[in-house]
Chain A
Amino acid sequence: MPLVELRNVSKVYHLGGEEIRALDDVTLDIETAEFISIIGPSGSGKSTLMHILGCLDSPSQGTILLDGVMIHNASSRELAAIRNRKIGFVFQFFNLLPKLNVLQNVELPMIYSGVGGKVRHERAMHALEQVGMANRAKHRPSQLSGGQQQRTAIARALVNNPRIIFADEPTGNLDSHTGEAILQLFRNLSQEGRTIILVTHDPEIAAVTPRRIEIRDGKVAEKVDIKLAGLDRAPIPTAGDITSLPDACR
């Protein structure tokens, strides 16, 4: 069974009588340990898709199964619990709490899952070691570079050992060199077997992932890079309805 099953999912916004279909009848599957990029021009619905996959938002129509749980009609309390245990987010603007230090920021998700002080500290330090930030544990976000802040955010996303990590334009606010390092970090995490979904409008970044989901005006089209996929691991069992539209391949 796939980790995520989206069936005919739509998200409709109503703005002053006008109907905006941010997602239009999207159907797709995501398997455990996949490394996927969601790519498309600005306003195409990438973030919307990520929010719905990440349990920050609910679809207007369609069904979603995440890790065997139906989430399309879950209550906000249930969604919060799923976000807490199964999902990690990395944002373009890092989104660290400025009043907390690096360690406290990484501990934050565990506070909401009720992990005790000692275990919390150990797990946060372990996550910081994974991203190479253990030596900065006591620093405030304002004392860190952009790349360091993003590493801290990645540690926070990792710390509750989630089923999927979502990253919305994680390199968008970084210079190309630092961005490259962050991408490398994601690649390493992917090789460790984590499921990672990168949202980007940059084809160069999308090029590092074996599977690309293209969005245009709320509709998805897919391309699987067999070579990349084959290089990294055994061929991905493709979902039955994968289509390769000509204009989706670049």
Chain B
Amino acid sequence: MRAAEEIRHTRAQFGIVLVAGLREIWAHKFRSLLTMLGIILGVSSLVAMSALVAGMEKGAKEALVAIGGLEKIRVESQELPPDQRHLTDQAVGITINDVYALAKNSTLVTRLSPEMRLPATLSANGKTFRPWLCNGVWPVALEMSEHVIAHGRMINDIDDEMARNVCVIGTATRDQLWGSPEEIGREIIPVGETVYINGMPFVVVGLFQHYESEQDRKERLARELAPPEAPGGGVARDRGRRFGGRRGNFVFHLKNSTVYLPLNTVWMKFRSGLSFSGLGSSFQSVGGAGGATGDPRLSTLEMRIAGVEVLTEALQQVRNVLMSTHKGIEDFSFRTQEDWAEQINVFIRNARLSGVLIAGISLLVGGIGIMNIMLASISERVREIGIRKSVGASGADVFVQILVESVVIAVFGGIAGLAASFGLVQLLASVSPTENAPIVQASSLLIAFGFSALVGVLAGVFPAIKAARLNPIQALRYE
């Protein structure tokens, strides 16, 4: 490359050239500052955008773990494909039979968790609450959905076998029925209390731990550690409250308002009130809750597979089993978290792309600004260049001098941009939701700074070549 060739042939010491460049920039302070503005904007937007994306990525990953990770697959009922429409009467839906068949035949499935959803209203303590999820489950659901029992116990096999009226609830339900720790100043543990589910008495045997994002937990701990606030402080605290008394990610809120009952209990005691989620509910209601075979019909079937890497094989295996139990009727579909993860990835990729675009355009504009000012600067300094050449400066010396000035402007702009980016990130942090608080990464700082230097080089090359090629005699004559 010509530039590299030029630089190799310069004899002037770099320090002197650098000082000359700094002197030149200092001589035109205001002009240089304006020139840097483009780079400042480019660098700070690059850093801020990547911090924002990193924050979103982290929030999404936490949420993904909270809902059970990538190894989880859901089987859902689905309307029949067009060529099988005439078989609708014989569609059985997903039943407990499928669970047993899968347990026996699908080697790649490690856990099976049938769920029977119950549209429920809970009442206790004179209050009522409609939880997001009230499911009849097997004990394995605890592990399946990454739940943790904080107090009491999970429903067990005996509860299920005997169809006992027991339930495990989350903190959102507790907060609604008995009050949250923030409101009443102490934590109520309703284990042993009675709660009425659709009018039927149930004993609360366990309480899930409170689920929240990293960020929320830190904030909550900080609040709890802080000395008691003045009466006015309560207002600020209320403002941040969403979703049942605590601010936080939607996913975490849903998880907190889960109620688990034994599967058999739901099957035996709420037979008529079951809901079948998914597209199939309209036709399933025709056959009644009993289904064509009389098996308990499940709303969903969740399973965990041996690993993400065997996802495709596992899906095929499960599909084969279900096709045989459903007599070839394809009334089910799979939902993997991978779909969800993919959606998030696409979103993040788009966000990153638009960030890069914004930053790229700013840097481009900044580069054009630098090139413009360097061209103006060399036409102001034709005579200076002529004098330097007459005392023995080679084209390479002039080239390096102009290039160094350009790079110094860009690098100063880059440094100022890094400083500005911290302000910008603070600003973004204050307007973006907590779980997606921007995260400034050292690598993005480095990349942004590198780009600013690169822009300086690219913007300087053309003016530098132009200056290096000036004819010394004409340059000396120039007025």
Q: At the interface, yes or no: A187 with Cβ under 8 Å from chain B?
A: no
Known: A99-B23, A114-B13. A91 touches B392 (CB 8 A): no
Q: At the interface, yes or no: A83 with Cβ under 8 Å from chain B?
A: yes
Partner of A89, one of B13, B383, B390, B394: B390
Q: At the interface, yes or no: B395 with Cβ under 8 Å from chain A?
A: yes
Q: Which residue of A has the minimal Cβ distance to B383? A: A95
Q: At the interface, yes or no: B206 with Cβ under 8 Å from chain A?
A: no
0/1 per residue, B378-390, Cβ < 8 Å to A? Answer: 0000011011111
Complex contact B396–A89 (CB within 8 A)? no
Instruction: Kindly state the separation between the CA atoms of A95 and B390 in the bound complex, as whole angstroms.
Output: 10
Partner of B392, one of A57, A109, A116: A109
Known: A76-B395, A80-B389. A111 touches B23 (CB 8 A): no
Q: At the interface, yes or no: A113 with Cβ under 8 Å from chain B?
A: yes
Q: At the interface, yes or no: B393 with Cβ under 8 Å from chain A?
A: yes
Question: How many contacting A-B pairs (Cβ < 8 A)?
Answer: 69
Complex contact B473–A112 (CB within 8 A)? no
- Residues of the A chain whose Cβ atoms lie less than 8 Å from the Cβ of B331: none
- Residues of the A chain whose Cβ atoms lie less than 8 Å from the Cβ of B12: 111-112, 114
Complex contact B16–A111 (CB within 8 A)? yes
Q: At the interface, yes or no: B108 with Cβ under 8 Å from chain A?
A: no
- Residues of the A chain whose Cβ atoms lie less than 8 Å from the Cβ of B394: 76-77, 80-81, 112
Taking chain B's interface residues, is the majority helix, strand, or loop, or is none over half, making it mixed?
Answer: helix
Complex contact A83–B390 (CB within 8 A)? yes
- Residues of the A chain whose Cβ atoms lie less than 8 Å from the Cβ of B23: 99
Within 8 A of A (CB), among B10-47: 11-13, 16, 23-24, 27
Partner of B387, one of A80, A95, A116, A160: A95
Contact size range, B: 20 to 34
Q: Which residue of B has the minimal Cβ distance to A108? A: B391
0/1 per residue, A81-114, Cβ < 8 Å to B? Answer: 1011100010100011101000000001101111
Instruction: Kindly state the separation between the CA atoms of A83 and B393 in the bound complex, as whole angstroms.
Output: 9
Known: A77-B9, A112-B397, A114-B13. A84 touches B392 (CB 8 A): yes
CB A177 to nearest CB in B, in angstroms, measures: 27
Q: At the interface, yes or no: B364 with Cβ under 8 Å from chain A?
A: no
- Residues of the A chain whose Cβ atoms lie less than 8 Å from the Cβ of B384: 97
CB B379 to nearest CB in A, in angstroms, measures: 17
Q: Which residue of B has the minimal Cβ distance to A166? A: B390
Q: Which residue of A has the minimal Cβ distance to B6? A: A77
CB A54 to nearest CB in B, in angstroms, measures: 8
Q: At the interface, yes or no: B416 with Cβ under 8 Å from chain A?
A: no
Instruction: Kindly state the separation between the CA atoms of A113 and B472 in the bound complex, as whole angstroms.
Output: 18
Instruction: Kindly state the separation between the CA atoms of A160 and B392 in the bound complex, as whole angstroms.
Output: 10
Partner of A112, one of B24, B383, B393: B393
A–B Cβ pairs within 8 angstroms, 29 of them: A51-B473, A56-B389, A56-B390, A56-B472, A57-B473, A76-B394, A80-B392, A80-B393, A80-B397, A81-B392, A83-B390, A83-B391, A84-B393, A89-B390, A95-B383, A95-B386, A95-B390, A95-B476, A108-B387, A108-B391, A109-B392, A111-B13, A111-B16, A112-B388, A112-B391, A112-B392, A113-B11, A114-B11, A114-B12
Q: Which B residues are within 8 Å of any A CB, using their own CB?
A: 9, 11-13, 16, 23-24, 27, 383-384, 386-397, 472-473, 476
Q: Which A residues are within 8 Å of any B CB, using their own CB?
A: 51, 56-57, 76-77, 80-81, 83-85, 89, 91, 95-97, 99, 108-109, 111-114, 116, 156, 160
